[in-house]
Amino acid sequence: MTITKLGVVWNPSKPGGDKLQAAVAEVFGSDAAGIPVQWWETTPDDPGRGMAVEAASEGCDVVIAAGGDGTVRAVAEGLAGTGVALGIVPRGTGNLLARNLDVPLNDIPAALRRVLDGESRKIDMGWVEHGGAEHAFVVMVGFGIDAQMLVETDDDLKSRAGWLAYVEAMGRAVAGTEMIDIELTLDDTEPEGLRGHTMLIGNCGMVQGGIRLLPDALIDDGQLDMLLVSADGPLQWLDTVRSLVWENGVRRLFGAVDQAVSTDSTTHVAAQRIAVTLSSPQAFEIDGEEVGEVSSFSVRVDPGALTVR
């Protein structure tokens, strides 16, 4: 697809705005022969959704989200179902969708060239309903231990101790976990009672450090994947780490397993719709941003709803 008009939605609170504008001019052209570019700034009240809707209505066939995961999620929500392609210039900490799409990190010109030269493809989006409102997500939602905590390890320890270093990171997180009762409904099945303290439901599964928390998750398979962690005590935490890093990491990488391995402390499932009721309110995250506490929520997949390049 040839780009006839480009929109850029950028977060002015991020440093390097001048560098971003210069790189856009260099890659897409700043003279009469270049691609027309229109800019929108995000605001504290609107991290990008309204700007993306406006960009699509004004004829942009590609809209770049230049910011962190919050900006990317908001722009994606505004573009859902429009056919207008999303481009990403990662300027955040996690940059999770960018990582899962292999978008160049820490290299603005390379990310822009990817937008210019890349092929458009359709990927799934997730939608989560809680408190009477529905919001899009492109990576994952959930409660309990933040996904980033699962890869926040001491670099020196990791270099010396390998995957055992993750035990130390997990141990620091144990103090903040509390087992709760969970009612889980997958698609049209009967509700099932479970116990756990961390649940992640995602459209794609890789986080920082190359760890795949949801190893079966594919960004265009028409399903959402869920991980429930119920580790209670040091031995079960060790089992959890082994599952994440060894069974669903190293062994999968070398072809020893071809689907997510559940254990006594980790449960992997996939569905198109998932409904969850909790015995006590839990802090909830959407693509890494905390949105308050929830006692129940439901998610659904929207296959092929977002075009990316």
Nearest partner of 212 among 196, 234, 227, judged by Cα:
227
- Backbone torsions φ then ψ of 168, nearest 5 degrees: -60, -45
Catalytic residue list contains 41 = no
Of 7, 15, 27, nearest to 112 by C-alpha is 27
CA distances from 146 to 130, 141, 193, 242, 245 (A): 19, 10, 23, 18, 17
**Distance of alpha carbon 227 from the chain centroid:** 14
Task: State the DSSP H helix or E strand holding residue 13, giving kind and residue range, or none if neither.
Answer: none
Active-site pick, 77, 289, 290, 293: 289
> What span, in angstroms and rounded, lies between the C-alpha atoms of 137 and 114?
22
C-beta of residue 137 within 8 angstroms of C-beta of residue 127: yes
CA–CA dist 184, 201 (Å, integer): 12
State the catalytic residues: 289
